[in-house]
Structure 1
């Protein structure tokens, strides 16, 4: 007899990456003929943990080492003190974390979950894996190595029946979703109707509750001759009262560009069926709900991320659908584990989109039912709210993503490209997402805020709300930009608040000789040490992930060591203690 119970794969995901990897692993194990259950941590019936033998968890880390939002009910249960130490003695586990080493609590969420299962008696069937987004080739090489270990360990410890051979990789697995075209009722094809349908969605219990907003203002904050277009997007709720705090986020639900959608439809030969009503049967769950009056065209436009960079899982399925032998062989080559470097050079380095891959491999024709498995869902994009709490108004500070790749192709972010098209009076849907980032920071103690670029967005909310709640609070701001006259975001506001003695501002303009934020921090080391060490203040750091957060952290440690005559290790431990108390908060993206 072979192993019969289902293997359960649970994911904790903020932006959908962990979910994608969970389904990638499930496809691999389906080829090995294992029975599988895949869902988010919170969707899983906890009672079933007692009836399974093998559990795999793939989890990202949110905020300051927190469990992602779709895993917090699960984690609350896991932390119950009365759980017996042998509760999961029957269970064999493995886990994989999607992390970013520029965060202080790198891969903290998966480490906590994995350790808690071991505390409750579970045993590893293979080692835990951890991916690092900051690595040259991203998470993928780490995942590949871990996946290989998982598969070999499962075969050794949970063997299937000896007469049950793996499904040959040349065969296609049955699609999980069925797309039905209702050809008897052709839908109207107008851009206007598509826009209206997009703000009316069919909700289910898996969908994030959405709010309807009207665009009040979409204004460029940087000068026209500056290389980057940064926008103030001002929205007004039209269907409910808002409730949010500094640090909270707004999820925007973007749409693909109509030209790109039409290009894909024409390429695939779907022009004659693109506007027929579409019915979806299966486990497809759309964030924010499926749009109403769904057609094949609107499904692609609003729910499929055709401009995303294809992962290895894309090529492992796509090669089946190429009729040209040379194209089929090349696509299959990218799907191989030992072809990760070639895949990186082809897809990741030049940031090729799925649409561009389909244009280059012209014989690749996708059967409709495999469309949701081949192309990932278009996920909502999260932006820090930059206005103080209000019952109806929300402001966002958004940098429009436009750049050229190493092969000189212009790239535009799907969401920010869509944001750029919004006009006053337009209706959109969005969701307020609670975030504990600033929970411990809203008090009357001093606060040092460091915000290069659009990192200023959540800081602006903290400043404006602090002035209302604690007018005597010491507020110290270190914004970082390139030029004082081109991209100094909200500079006039900071100058006015400084004149009113409500805010201390120490800007850095890197192209004008004043260095970066870490340089300005060090120049003001006496003030930093007084506010943080002597007056028990807090630090809020917001902005791009990568080198900046690490440089700021090292600078702060150097300041504390020098000003207090501490060793490097003592300064390092002091900053960790601040972080553990919630007095050092890093919100980077």
Structure 2
């Protein structure tokens, strides 16, 4: 690359290791990195206000598990010899099913406790365990946390499928000693209020794109990596990108200190791709590192690359640390080639411009989880939003969403979790218009009523004062699981009545299993209440979709 040049290198080595937080620039809105010049006019600066509310902070702390007394008769391993001393012959096998790493962490704590007590034990994911080894000579402890709507995590799906299979030997589980530890996990969700510099008109269903920044810790780590590899680039190194053969983002059309580019433009949390590994392989002069990078960049090495990057969610900074000799060859031009820009994150607006014309509210699920790597993983934007202080600046733009609400017809809304955001916006807008909401149904779902019923006060007020029909599925408040599709089934007569009166269905939320489960439920109720065949019911729903009477907005 020849589109970047270094200007006025005026910093010292000490700057890299003692870097302070960058002060906010007044013209930060000019840093819109991924928007075209036409989009730039819609980018606004706003501040977090004093009434920025925290939506029921739900913190989950992993308890410290100690090996219970009933495991003290397990097989004992004598570290001073290769002889296994048995008490009753049981070998402790700790198996975990984990999507975000919580169950894995608990399982490893149990295993470590067993090791400290010198009990012979192993720990692995459920799918890594060979079911043919099941025997009465083992004690198996399953540590499992479900994902989505009670679904098995990815690393135990195969085991679960085989366990339910008809070909399973009938005597396979006879005399098996086992224990099950089921974990419940609540995600932290915040209702964040952004105070606008002036009144901005937006409609229910619109989306706000927020451009986050890297954390102080991540920026400091980046410069520490450069410092540790004797790369002469520092926080106040001035950089100017010249527009030659590439399209230069608005963010870089001026001379900027490198620290500002690192903090506001390069995504330090991004997961390197095959092309990144290819670039690094070209500059590497270390034989072992070059061979490994070349393997990651080759077609036959994609499974290895997936296991190295995607499974543990390894980011670019961790890759640079893993390949120190190659990293030492980096310069400013190569950094621009391998780094990925921060992309604005979309959030459904949860407020009404009629009710609060000088504010925008968003429901933010804070992404924070563990993998096999030592440090927890996090979502760049959700973590940044979580850590904002009052009067901090936020750069954003507003874009039309996919929903098109018709407020003169019956409406069925399904929004579990943060999927309820666009429906809150619509309902608050209707409330401001003094509308009677008797022809509006809201199906909401979460785990526990008292812990993660988002915007509960709003919906209870609307139900009482505007006749909104609210039906909730609290999946963990009873011994059996209840999800939104089950509540729809209970209200199938009412749903059919709304559909017969030219009503529409709106669904928002996770794209995993919920959308299909809800759609199947509507097919079933149309078949049952409408007295149709399976084929006719399917065509009925397809017709709703074609006429935009069944609209969905989902995310991964």
- The answer to whether TM tops 0.5 is yes
**Which of these residues, 510, 525, 538, is aligned with residue 492 of structure 2?**
525
Distance 1:304 1:223, change over 3 A: closer
Pick the aligned partner of 1:280 from 241, 259, 269. 241
Give the distance between the partners of 1:413 and 1:407, measured in 2 at CA.
16
Mapped to 2, the partners of 1:535 and 1:448 lie a distance apart of 12
Partner of 1:181, secondary structure, is strand
- 8 Å contact kept, 2:29–2:44: no
**Contact 1:206 / 1:285 at 8 angstroms: preserved in 2?**
no
Shift of 1:197: 5.4
Unaligned runs of 5+ in 1: 1-174
Counterpart for residue 101 of structure 2: none
**Partner residue of 2:520?**
554
1:219 alignment partner, one of 53, 57, 61? 53
1:182 maps onto 2:144 in alignment: no
Q: State the Cα deviation string for residues 343-377 of structure 1 (Å, max 9, x = none).
A: 11111111111111111111122231122221211
Query: Which one of 262, 265, 271 corresponds to residue 309 of structure 1?
Result: 271
Give 1:205's aligned residue: 37
User: SS of the residue aligned with 2:450?
Assistant: coil
Q: Deviations over 1:272-306 (max 9, x none)?
A: 533122101133543x7349762112112111112
Which residue number in structure 2 is paired with residue 482 of structure 1? 447
Cα separation, partners in 2 of 1:410 and 1:193, compared to 1, 3 Å: closer
| Distance change >3 Å, CA 409–CA 554, structure 1 → 2 | farther
* Partner residue in 1 for 2:24: 195
The one of 362, 387, 411 aligned to 1:447 = 411
1:78-227 equivalent positions in 2, closer than 5 A: 175=1, 178-183=3-8, 191=20, 193-196=22-25, 199-201=28-30, 205=37, 207-209=39-41, 210-216=43-49, 217-225=51-59, 227=186
Matched, 1:462 2:426: yes
1: distance between equivalents of 2:31 and 2:59?
Answer: 43
Counterpart for residue 117 of structure 2: none
Structure 2 distance, partners of 1:293, 1:394, is: 33
Q: Distance in 2 between the 1:285 and 1:457 partners?
A: 35
Residue in 1 aligned with 2:257? 295
Residue 547 of structure 1 deviates from its aligned partner by: 1.1
- Asked which structure has the greater CA Rg, the reply is 2
CA distance, structure 1, for counterparts of residue 219 and residue 283 of structure 2: 20
Does residue 469 of structure 2 align to residue 504 of structure 1?
Answer: yes
- Of 383, 388, 397, the residue aligned with 1:422 is 388
Q: 3-state SS of the aligned residue for 1:212?
A: strand
How far 1:467 moved relative to its partner?
3.0
Checking the alignment, whether the CA contact within 8 Å between 1:218 and 1:422 is kept in structure 2 is: no
Which segment drifts farther, 517-526 or 212-221? 212-221
Aligned residue in 1 for 2:316: 354
Aligned equivalents of 1:291 and 1:430: distance in 2? 19
CA distance in 2, matches of 1:184, 1:447: 61
TM-score by length of 1: 0.66
- Aligned residue for 1:394, secondary structure, equals strand
- Report deviation, 1:271: 6.1
Q: TM-score scaled to structure 2, two decimals?
A: 0.69
Asked if the contact 1:316–1:332 (Cα under 8 Å) also holds between the matched residues in 2, the reply is: yes
CA contact (8 A) 1:202 1:292 kept: no
Residue 384 (structure 1) shift: 0.6
Q: Give 2:201's aligned residue.
A: 243
Query: Would the aligned equivalents of 1:254 and 1:415 in 2 still touch at CA under 8 Å?
Result: yes
Q: 1:231 to 1:577 in 2, by over 3 A?
A: same
Deviation at 1:407, TM superposition (A): 4.2
Separation in structure 2 between the aligned mates of residue 260 and residue 447 of structure 1, nearest angstrom: 45
1:363-402 to 2 correspondence within 5 Å?
363-365=325-327, 366-390=330-354, 391-402=357-368
Match of 2:459 in 1: 494
Q: Which residue of 2 aligns with 1:29?
A: none
Does the 8 Å contact 1:183/1:276 carry over to 2? Answer: yes
Q: In structure 1, what is the equivalent of residue 210 of structure 2?
A: 252
On the 8 A contact 1:257/1:301 being kept in 2, the answer is: yes
* Structure 2 residue aligned with 1:234: 193
Post-superposition shift, 1:424? Answer: 1.5
C-alpha distance in 2, partners of 1:523/1:200? 49
Partner Cα separation in structure 1 for residue 190 and residue 284 of structure 2: 42
Q: 2:298 aligns with which of 314, 336, 349?
A: 336
The 8 Å contact of residues 198 and 302 in structure 1, kept in 2 or not, is answered as: no
In structure 1, C-alpha distance between the alignment counterparts of 2:284 and 2:392, rounded to whole Å? 41
Match of 1:438 in 2: 403
Equivalent-residue separation in structure 2 for 1:291 and 1:451 (angstroms) = 42
Q: Number of matched residues? A: 409
